């Protein structure tokens, strides 16, 4: 401390070191002393300085430093999260690391002031100090441990704005938060929730900012450079293969779904460019395949795909997902082995075969468990399988739990377009005749085969024009999306399908289907291969009608999974997350607002690219479009996706399911009042919008601040230009000039991650867990009278023809297992509007915290309203004999498959 002071002679004095925290600031009495470094020795806890003119110590007196050398005693507390489950080697390693930390050789901390050093003009930093020792574990956090660093800074240090962390251990650590004591502002909080890499991996220090929210123009001088440095680190240089410990966010096209090195049948086109446009994913930098230099090489299970380190699952989530994956493996593998023993995959012979999945389960014999143990790498799975004979039963999905035969009825088929797992595709019929937008030179006459006469036959005397004028006619139209792919799909022996259109009529007793059009691509002998089916009343008509509805469900299941679920929520949300980390500092108030809505999404998407949407993955194996699945998703992105239409009110108006009405919530009025997804969704959307509006108003006092916010403008430009470069020039992209612009953009993003995803994800098993209700593929076209042999088989045993047209036992159980896993909430789920201890100090602004409490209270009110609606007998689509209540937009939930709950983020 005294090394650089001017030389002078002085008597011996004693410095009594005070203890933290009773005297945080020390003053040395000003006696105009000047100091020189001299020999010292310790005497009874005092530091004794030797007078340079004397050979013996002089009388010891207590020294106080001059006012210019006032110091502050600082204590920095690091909260570190330990592993949930540990092997013996991990426990030994932890003990060693605790010892190393205890002696000051494990973690180094350094404070950075908000102020600039007035002499050097550079950052004002404290000394780099080692943490030593451990505090007692917090009683309510068994996995959290705290370690401390005590040191001093000069009183003119200013307020700390950042902490630099160096991890000297061999392994990374998870830093939950940092608390700094000793400054007059009280405890200062630095929310981290980040992995701190070892210096063996990188010498870059981890920079953690405080919980204050600051626009770029409000950044204190001492933090300006650090703020930019962190963003530069997060962007990376776009070169090389990313490593596990890195926390780098960058863009790449979807060119890693195929594996051409394993054969042409697994090659898949790159999704990017004018022909196959698509959002971008996170860049991994893996080398290209040997066969196709434009395709990125794949990493197969059990190895993991790179995502930025802070985007990976936490341990509770990882264990939960592994348990769910285990369940999927068990349900997938056992039917696969049974099919292998028989050398073929069998169809369900009767409906009782399906019922056995819930009543008796699948028997696993000892021989099969031995085979499973050889096939599965994970020892945990082998251990479970080796227990002996087991019966693995599926839970009864809610669609048949109250009414075993509801799925057969037309009103239930229609109800699910409004209150099912895909309630976002139905539209009001506003133009007639119905005309395709596809090229007629390629796909035949554009006019639909559904005529005015066919529709009016079902309208009980009402004319077509009257029905349309009174908003009574609706359409589920998958024709133009599917028809370009039907020829290729039908070339497979295992897939047969149509491009479908379905007309619904809203009668006094509810919505019902009245006509289904099934179309095939034209051929030279028949340029218009379109058939229209109505429900009829005789036995033959009933079974044909049921087959037609099954084909509609197959189309709808593909659109749901590939377009509304994967594309519109998972894939698009990834672009917002990458741009947020690259362009918005963690100090930025908009980053703090969005951060809870990013949790786990990128790792979930990486897992989907590895096992679900990849070539030969679950989606291709079990859904109708097979190897053309992601191409259909790209076609939908090209023709349908618009950011400005992803807002719930805009989407409802676009589909004609609502009309503008300034006197109604969100300024829209529903065309069908009993539309559970929309009516509940409006409540949630409105709550999010009000919360976002108050938050924006708090930080942006006028709209001019929006345009002046450099980080915010760069963020929005990057979403458009780098996240969606294939659509960057579209005229519909919203401007970002006013507070209203920002409010609508942010509400759309938060709704996408929370309410929208919840509504179309957590109903997958409740509705799809009974396969005949929602078959994901069809294997046969509908028998026609001109094909006498097949038609005769149909007349003799229509049930057999129906079941043999649906997914096989293996396919059905695979889909059921995956849907069960994807419909499940993790125990560490974080729900919309709820406060969590891990984020208790996310922002240091009491006014914002009060606004958030108001948002939370509003969501609690919404939960009460929805529960009340589900008991209202007038609302037939959510209440009635055997009708499951609509709970997908109830904000809260417990763990497991509950069919309710709105997580903050796309976490599954």
Q: Which residues are catalytic?
A: 565, 570, 757, 761, 908
CA–CA gap between residue 424 and residue 251 (Å, rounded): 29
Using the structure block, give the residue that is written with the tokens 């005497």: 43
160 alpha carbon, distance to own chain's centre? 33
Quick one: CA torsion of 881, 885, 886, 891, rounded to 10 degrees?
170
Residues 6+ apart with CB under 8 A from 38: 10, 49, 50, 51, 52
Q: Which helix (H) or strand (E) holds 382?
A: helix 379-385
* Cβ 671 vs Cβ 679: under 8 Å: no
Nearest to 320 by CA among 752, 823, 759: 823
> Which long-range CB contacts under 8 A does 16-25 form with residues at least 24 apart?
16/45, 16/46, 16/62, 17/45, 17/47, 18/73, 20/73, 20/75, 20/150, 20/182, 21/73, 21/75, 21/181, 21/182, 23/73, 24/72, 24/73, 24/182, 25/70, 25/71, 25/72, 25/73, 25/155
β-bridge pairing 129-130 and 134-135: unpaired
- DSSP characters for 734-803? PP--SHHHHHHHHHHHHHIIIIIHHHHHTTHHHHHSSGGGS-S--SSPPP-TTSHHHHHHHHH-HHHHHH
Q: How does DSSP classify residue 720? A: I
CA–CA gap between residue 6 and residue 43 (Å, rounded): 26
CA–CA gap between residue 222 and residue 14 (Å, rounded): 36
Task: Look up residue 131 and give its two tokens.
Answer: 């943490």
CA–CA gap between residue 80 and residue 99 (Å, rounded): 15
CA angle 451, 456, 459 (to 5 degrees): 145
In terms of Cβ atoms closer than 10 Å to its own Cβ (0-12, 13-18, 19+), residue 780 is middle
Task: Look up residue 535 and give its two tokens.
Answer: 């429900």
CA–CA gap between residue 144 and residue 134 (Å, rounded): 11
CA–CA gap between residue 452 and residue 444 (Å, rounded): 20
Instruction: Kindly list the strands in the beta sheet with 46-49, ordered across the sheet, starting from the edge strand earlier in the chain.
Output: 14-16, 46-49, 40-43
- DSSP characters for 544-585? HHHHHHHHHHHHHHHHIIIIIIIIIIIIHHHHHHHHHHHHS-
Mapped onto helix, strand or coil, the DSSP state of residue 356 is: helix
Nearest to 505 by CA among 534, 540, 538, 481: 534
* Cβ 393 vs Cβ 358: under 8 Å: yes
CA–CA gap between residue 283 and residue 252 (Å, rounded): 5
Task: Look up residue 791 and give its two tokens.
Answer: 């038609």
CB atoms within 10 A of CB 868: 9
108 alpha carbon, distance to own chain's centre? 34
In DSSP terms, 533 is beta-bridged to: 516
Buried b (16+ CB within 10 A) or exposed e, 186-223: eebbbbbbbbbbeeeeeeebbbbbbbbbbbbeebbebb
Residues 6+ apart with CB under 8 A from 516: 500, 501, 502, 503, 532, 533, 534, 545, 548, 549, 551, 552
Task: Look up residue 53 and give its two tokens.
Answer: 């003119």
């Amino acid at each position: 401390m005294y090394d650089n002071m001017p030389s002078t002679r002085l008597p011996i004095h004693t410095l009594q070191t005070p203890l933290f925290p009773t005297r945080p600031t020390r003053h040395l009495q000003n006696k105009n002393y000047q100091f020189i470094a001299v020999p010292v020795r310790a005497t009874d806890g005092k530091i004794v300085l030797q007078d340079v003119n004397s050979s013996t110590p002089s009388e010891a007196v207590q020294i106080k430093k001059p006012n210019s050398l006032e110091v502050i005693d600082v204590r920095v507390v690091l909260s570190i999260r330990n592993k949930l489950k540990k092997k013996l080697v991990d426990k030994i390693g932890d003990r060693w690391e605790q010892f190393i930390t205890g002696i000051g050789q494990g973690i180094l901390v350094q404070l950075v002031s908000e102020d600039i050093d007035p002499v050097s003009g550079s950052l004002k930093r404290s000394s780099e100090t080692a943490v030593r020792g451990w505090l007692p574990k917090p009683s309510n956090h068994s996995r959290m441990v705290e370690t401390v660093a005590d040191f001093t800074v000069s009183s003119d240090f200013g307020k700390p704005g950042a902490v630099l962390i160096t991890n000297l251990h061999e392994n990374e650590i998870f830093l939950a938060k940092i608390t700094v004591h000793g400054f007059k502002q009280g405890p200062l909080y630095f929310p981290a929730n980040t992995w701190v890499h070892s210096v063996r991996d990188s010498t870059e220090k981890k920079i953690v900012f405080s919980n204050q929210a600051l626009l770029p123009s409000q950044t204190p001088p001492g933090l300006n450079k650090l703020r930019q440095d962190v963003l530069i680190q997060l962007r990376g240089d776009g070169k090389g293969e990313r490593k596990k410990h890195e926390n780098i966010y960058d863009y790449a096209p979807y060119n890693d779904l195929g594996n051409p090195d394993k054969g042409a049948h697994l090659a898949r086109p790159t999704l990017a460019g004018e022909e196959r446009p698509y959002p971008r994913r996170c860049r991994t930098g893996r080398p290209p395949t040997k066969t196709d230099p434009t395709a990125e090489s794949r990493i197969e299970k059990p190895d993991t795909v790179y995502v930025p380190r802070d985007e990976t699952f936490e341990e509770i989530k990882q264990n939960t997902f592994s348990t769910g994956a285990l369940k999927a493996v068990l349900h997938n593998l056992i039917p696969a082995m049974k099919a292998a023993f028989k050398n073929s995959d069998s169809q369900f012979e009767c409906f009782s075969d399906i019922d056995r999945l819930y009543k008796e389960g699948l028997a696993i014999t000892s021989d099969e468990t031995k085979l499973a143990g050889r096939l599965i790498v994970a020892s945990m799975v082998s251990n479970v399988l080796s227990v002996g004979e087991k019966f693995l039963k599926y839970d009864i999905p809610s669609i048949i739990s109250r009414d075993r035969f509801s799925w057969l009825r037309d009103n239930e088929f229609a109800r699910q377009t409004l209150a099912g797992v895909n309630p976002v595709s139905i539209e009001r019929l506003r133009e007639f005749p119905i005309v395709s937008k596809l090229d007629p030179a390629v796909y035949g006459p554009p006019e639909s085969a559904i005529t005015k006469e066919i529709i009016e036959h079902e309208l009980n005397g009402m004319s077509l024009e009257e029905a349309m004028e009174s908003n009574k006619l609706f359409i589920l139209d998958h024709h133009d999306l599917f028809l370009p792919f039907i020829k290729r799909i039908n070339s497979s022996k295992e897939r047969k399908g149509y491009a479908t259109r379905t007309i619904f009529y809203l009668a006094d007793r509810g919505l019902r289907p009245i006509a289904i059009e099934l179309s095939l691509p034209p051929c030279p002998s028949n340029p218009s291969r379109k058939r229209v089916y109505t429900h009829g009343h005789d036995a033959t008509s009933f079974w044909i009608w049921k087959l037609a509805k099954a084909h509609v469900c197959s189309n709808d299941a593909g659109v749901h999974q590939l377009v509304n679920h994967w594309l519109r929520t998972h894939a698009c949300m990834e672009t917002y997350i990458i741009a947020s980390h690259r362009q918005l500092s963690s100090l930025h108030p908009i980053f703090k607002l969005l951060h809870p809505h990013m949790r786990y999404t990128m790792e979930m998407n990486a897992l989907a690219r590895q096992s679900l949407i990849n070539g030969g993955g679950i989606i291709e194996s079990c859904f109708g479009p097979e190897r053309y699945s992601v191409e259909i998703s790209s076609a939908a992105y090209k023709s349908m996706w618009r950011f400005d239409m992803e807002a719930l009110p805009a989407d409802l108006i676009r589909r004609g399911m609502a009309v503008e009405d300034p006197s109604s919530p969100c300024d829209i009025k529903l065309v069908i009042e009993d539309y559970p997804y929309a009516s509940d969704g409006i409540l949630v959307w409105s709550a999010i919008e009000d919360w976002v509006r108050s938050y924006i108003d708090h930080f942006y006092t006028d709209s001019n601040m929006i345009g002046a916010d450099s980080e915010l403008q760069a963020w929005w430009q990057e979403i458009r230009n780098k996240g969606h470069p294939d659509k960057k020039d579209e005229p519909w992209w919203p401007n970002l000039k006013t507070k209203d612009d920002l409010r609508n953009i942010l509400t759309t993003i938060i709704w996408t991650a929370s309410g929208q995803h919840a509504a179309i994800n957590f109903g997958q098993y409740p509705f799809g867990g009974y396969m005949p209700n929602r078959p994901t593929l069809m294997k046969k076209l509908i028998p026609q009278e001109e094909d006498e042999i097949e038609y005769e088989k149909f007349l003799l045993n229509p049930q057999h023809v129906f079941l043999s047209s649906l997914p096989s036992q293996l396919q059905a159980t695979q889909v059921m297992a995956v849907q069960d896993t994807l419909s499940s909430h993790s125990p560490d789920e974080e729900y919309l509007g709820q406060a969590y201890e891990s984020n208790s100090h996310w922002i240091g602004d009491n006014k914002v915290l009060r606004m958030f409490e108001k948002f939370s209270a509003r969501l609690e009110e919404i939960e009460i309203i929805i529960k009340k609606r589900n008991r209202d007998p007038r609302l037939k689509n959510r209440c009635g004999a055997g009708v499951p209540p609509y709970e997908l937009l109830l904000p809260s939930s417990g763990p497991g498959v509950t069919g309710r709950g709105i997580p903050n983020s796309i976490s599954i």
